[in-house]
C-alpha cells in the first residue's frame, strides 16, 4: 500500500507535517512536543486571538512559558484559522472540547463542526486522529461517514484513529512525552499509520483492538476517579458528623501496600474530564438498555458537595452569631486544582452561585486567575481581590476552595475572623483558635 508506506517513512524521518486542530490545554502542549522533536507543526484554531498570540510567540496558558512557544515558532510552527490548510498536513490531530449540554447529555458539536470543516480538505495519505473524550462509537459513527462521503476509503486512502488525551495541567512529573498513549485504529492499517504518527513524539504507545476500545478506556479512567472521589466525599460528611478526621483515616489507609489507592475529598469536581466524561457513557448506555447506576450515583454525590459546603458556611457563621444573608464571603481559589490557571467546571463557580442566591456578598482571590471570564453557565464579572490584611479582616468568612501554594496560610489564619476549609489546609482545626471549620 503506497499511501501507508510512504506516510510511515515521512513520520519516521520527521519530514511529515503535523496539524493540531484546537490549541487549548491539550492541543498546545502536544504542539510543543511534536515541534521539540523536529516536526513542522501547523496549528488550526477558530479563535483569531489565540492564533495571533501564538504567531507572536506568546502563550495564553500560565503553565506553558511563552519562551516555549517562541522556540516552536523558530522551528517552523505556525498557527492559522484557515481550515483549507489542513491539506498540507500528513497527520491531523483533533483536540477540541466535548462538553455536556444543559441536560447533561454529550455535546459533540465541536467535534462534528471540526470534522465538517476539515472534510473538504482531506486527501489520500493522511492520518486523522481524534483525541477528544467521547462515548464508544463516536469515531466510527460520526467521523467515518463524514470521511467516506468525500470518496476517501478509510484504511487505504486515509487512516482514522482514536487516541484519547491524557493531560495533567501543571504537573511537574508528567507531560505529553512520558504519559503512555492509548491508540485504536478503525482498521489494522489505520492503527499502523496512527502508531507511526505518535511514535516519534511519545515514549510509550498502548495499542488496543479498536477505536471503541480506546474510547472506552478513556472513560474508564475518569469514571474510576469519579466513583472513588464520590466515596471519600460521602465518607467525609459522615466523618465530620462522627468527629473523625477523614484525612487522618486516608493517610492511615494509604500505608497498606496493596489493594488501596488514596483519593481525597473536596468541594466538588472540576476540570474538563471527571465532572463530564462519565455522563458520556451513561448517555450511550441507554442505547443498550443499561442503567449505569453506579456512575450516576457518584455524579449525584459529587454534584451535591457545593451544597454541603455552603451548609457548612452557614453553620460556621451561625456559630459566630452571623447569618449568611448579608455576610461577606471571600472565596480563595477559582481554579479547579492547585497551582494552575484552569477554571473549567470549577466547583468554585457553583459555590459562588449558591452563596449569592442566599444573599451573601461574595468576592474572590486567586493569584492564577485575575478576572472571571464569562462562561457557558456563569458570568460574575469579578476581579481577584488582593489577599491582604484588609480583605481578610473585613470578610465574615474566608472559604478555601483551592489550596494554591502561593497562599500564605499563616497570614490567612492570623488575619481572618472565620475560615471554612474544604481542602484540609489547616489540619487539627482545634489548634487554630476556633477559627477553622472543616467542610
Catalytic center residues: 273
Instruction: Report the residue count for the chain.
Output: 439
Q: The C-alpha cell of 6 is what?
A: 510512504
- What SS3 class is residue 50? helix
Compute the distance between CA of residue 390 and CA of residue 55 in angstroms, rounded to an integer: 42
Q: Are the CB atoms for 12 and 196 separated by under 8 Å? A: yes
Compute the distance between CA of residue 368 and CA of residue 393 in angstroms, rounded to an integer: 22
DSSP state of 416: -
Contacts of 332 (CB under 8 A, 6+ apart): 364, 365, 366, 387, 398, 399, 400, 401, 402, 404, 407, 412
Q: Which secondary structure element, helix H or strand E, spans residue 80, and what is its range?
A: strand 78-80
DSSP state of 303: H
Bridge-based pairing of strands 361-365 and 328-332 is parallel
- What pairs with residue 21 in β-bridges? 44, 94
Q: Which of 407, 401, 405 is nearest to 421 (CA)?
A: 401
Amino acid at each position: 500500500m503506497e499511501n501507508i508506506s510512504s506516510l510511515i517513512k515521512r513520520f519516521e524521518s520527521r519530514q511529515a507535517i503535523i496539524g493540531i486542530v484546537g490549541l487549548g490545554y491539550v492541543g498546545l502542549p502536544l504542539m510543543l512536543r511534536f515541534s521539540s522533536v523536529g516536526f513542522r507543526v501547523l496549528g488550526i484554531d477558530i479563535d483569531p486571538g489565540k492564533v495571533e498570540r501564538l504567531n507572536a510567540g506568546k502563550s495564553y496558558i500560565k503553565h506553558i512559558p511563552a519562551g516555549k512557544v517562541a522556540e516552536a515558532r523558530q522551528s517552523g510552527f505556525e498557527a492559522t484559522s484557515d481550515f483549507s490548510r489542513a491539506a498540507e498536513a500528513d497527520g491531523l490531530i483533533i483536540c477540541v472540547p466535548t462538553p455536556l449540554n444543559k441536560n447533561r447529555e454529550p455535546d459533540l458539536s465541536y467535534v462534528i463542526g471540526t470534522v465538517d470543516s476539515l472534510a473538504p480538505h482531506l486527501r489520500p495519505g493522511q492520518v486523522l486522529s481524534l483525541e477528544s473524550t467521547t462515548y464508544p462509537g463516536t469515531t466510527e459513527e460520526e467521523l467515518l461517514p463524514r470521511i467516506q462521503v468525500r470518496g476517501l476509503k478509510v484504511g487505504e486512502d486515509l487512516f482514522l484513529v482514536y487516541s484519547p488525551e491524557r493531560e495533567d495541567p501543571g504537573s511537574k512529573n508528567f507531560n505529553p512525552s512520558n504519559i503512555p498513549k492509548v491508540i485504536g485504529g478503525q482498521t489494522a492499517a489505520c492503527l499502523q499509520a496512527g502508531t507511526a504518527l505518535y511514535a516519534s513524539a511519545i515514549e510509550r504507545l498502548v495499542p488496543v483492538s479498536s477505536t471503541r476500545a480506546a474510547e472506552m478506556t478513556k472513560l474508564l479512567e475518569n469514571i474510576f476517579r469519579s466513583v472513588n472521589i464520590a466515596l471519600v466525599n460521602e465518607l467525609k460528611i459522615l466523618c465530620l458528623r462522627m468527629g473523625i478526621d477523614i484525612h487522618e483515616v486516608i493517610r492511615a489507609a494509604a500505608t497498606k501496600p496493596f489493594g488501596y489507592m488514596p483519593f481525597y475529598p473536596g468541594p466538588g469536581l472540576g476540570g474538563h474530564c471527571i465532572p463530564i466524561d462519565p455522563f458520556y457513557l451513561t448517555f450511550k448506555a441507554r442505547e443498550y438498555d443499561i442503567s449505569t447506576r453506579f456512575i450516576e450515583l457518584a455524579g449525584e454525590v459529587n454534584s451535591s458537595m457545593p451544597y454541603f459546603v455552603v451548609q457548612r458556611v452557614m453553620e460556621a457563621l451561625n456559630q459566630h452569631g452571623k447569618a449568611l444573608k448579608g455576610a461577606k464571603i471571600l472565596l480563595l481559589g477559582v481554579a479547579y486544582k492547585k497551582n494552575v490557571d484552569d477554571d473549567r467546571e470549577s466547583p468554585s463557580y457553583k459555590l459562588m452561585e449558591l452563596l449569592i442566591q442566599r444573599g451573601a456578598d461574595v468576592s474572590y482571590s486567586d493569584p492564577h486567575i485575575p478576572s472571571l471570564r464569562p462562561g457557558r453557565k456563569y458570568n460574575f464579572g469579578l476581579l481577584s481581590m488582593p489577599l491582604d490584611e484588609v480583605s481578610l479582616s473585613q470578610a465574615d468568612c474566608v472559604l478555601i476552595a483551592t489550596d494554591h501554594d502561593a497562599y500564605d496560610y499563616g497570614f490567612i489564619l492570623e488575619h481572618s475572623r472565620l475560615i471554612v476549609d474544604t481542602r484540609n489546609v489547616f489540619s487539627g482545626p482545634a489548634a487554630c483558635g476556633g477559627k477553622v471549620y472543616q467542610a
